[in-house]
């Protein structure tokens, strides 16, 4: 285990792969092909892992007023957690293809609902395969868990809050995890409007990972935040396109030992549902 149990290495995971207290969840997903993750899971996954689909499991219903991945209904996601075998004492391990962009969302959701024993497989599936550990097509035998949500354990920011802060010229620190081109508005491959929220600053989540998808050393993670004058902020928030990769910044904050940020779940895709909002590109 590394950095307060936030990360787990493949060798540490393989040592506890058959421990009943561990629940392993595969979150592989492609925005381009939403079926790809499930298909990849069916072709081979880490032993005892269950599959979680970003759109169907880790997000709520989309409306004209929401972003692309609104937070799921608490009762529904709690029932899913129990169905996946998560109990109060479970240690949950989450992984995806490589850089943990999707795994971070499930890591955050569990912590949002009060479950702190959750770790991300550092480097994801690529790291597991690079260690020559095996995959399986067998589905795990699951005993239903007794997970119960505790609400309000992590802070969220709403679109309305940020709107008011801008209108009232209230100072706030909001960090956008999208890549530099999307933040600047020079490229927007996903959302219908390009740009970023006024006063937000940009730290792409990929700045925190090595070429193999593993997290950079804690000292480097700290330095990246420090270069943006983010050390031990009492009140700051993170966003991205739809509230998914923003969670990656939350993990990096915990690794760095600085205050964990609030999440703006709606993020850019919700912000742009109303053209009257202040836009900056």
Residue positions annotated with a catalytic role: 240
Find out whether 84 and 52 touch, Cβ atoms under 8 Å. yes
* Residue-wise DSSP of 211-270: TTSPBPPHHHHHHHHHTTT-SS-SS-EEE-SSSSTHHHHHHHHHHHTSPPPEE-SSHHHH
Token pair for 110: 């569990």
Q: Which letter does DSSP use for residue 207 in this model?
A: G
- Exposure string (b/e) for 109-125, b if CB count within 10 Å is 16 or more? bbbbbebebbbbbbbbb
Find out whether 201 and 228 touch, Cβ atoms under 8 Å. yes
Q: Where are the alpha helices (DSSP H) in 113-174?
A: 124-130, 159-167
Report the distance separating Cα 63 and Cα 61, nearest Å: 7
- Point out which residues pair with 196 in neighbouring strands: 280
Is the dihedral angle over the CA atoms 121, 125, 128, 130 positive or is it negative? negative
Q: Round to the nearest angstrom and report the end-to-end CA distance of the chain.
A: 41
- Point out which residues pair with 120 in neighbouring strands: 7, 94
């Amino acid at each position: 285990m590394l950095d307060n149990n936030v990360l787990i290495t493949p060798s540490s995971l393989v040592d506890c792969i058959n421990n009943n207290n561990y629940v392993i969840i595969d979150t592989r997903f492609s925005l381009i092909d939403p079926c790809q993750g499930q298909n990849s899971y069916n072709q081979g996954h880490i032993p005892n892992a269950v599959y979680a689909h970003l759109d169907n499991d880790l997000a709520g219903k989309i409306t004209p007023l929401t972003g692309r991945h609104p937070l799921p209904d608490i009762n529904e996601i709690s029932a899913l957690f129990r169905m996946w075998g998560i109990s109060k004492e479970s240690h949950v391990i989450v992984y995806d293809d490589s850089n943990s962009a999707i795994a971070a969302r499930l890591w955050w959701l569990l912590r949002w609902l009060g479950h702190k024993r959750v770790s991300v497989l550092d480097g994801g599936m690529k790291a597991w395969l690079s260690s020559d550990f095996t995959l399986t097509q067998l589905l795990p035998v699951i005993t239903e868990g007794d997970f119960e949500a505790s609400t309000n354990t992590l802070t969220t920011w709403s679109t309305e809050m940020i709107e008011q802060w801008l209108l009232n010229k209230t100072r706030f620190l909001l960090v956008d995890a999208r890549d530099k081109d999307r933040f600047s508005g020079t490229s927007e491959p996903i959302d219908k409007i390009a740009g970023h929220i006024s006063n937000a600053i940009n730290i792409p989540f990929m700045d925190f990972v090595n070429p193999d998808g593993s997290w950079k050393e804690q000292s480097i993670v700290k330095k990246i935040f420090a270069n943006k004058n983010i050390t031990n902020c009492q009140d700051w928030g993170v966003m991205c396109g739809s509230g998914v990769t923003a969670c990656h910044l939350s993990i990096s904050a915990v690794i760095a030992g600085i205050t964990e940020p609030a999440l703006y779940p709606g993020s850019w895709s919700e912000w742009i549902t109303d053209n009257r909002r202040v836009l900056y590109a």
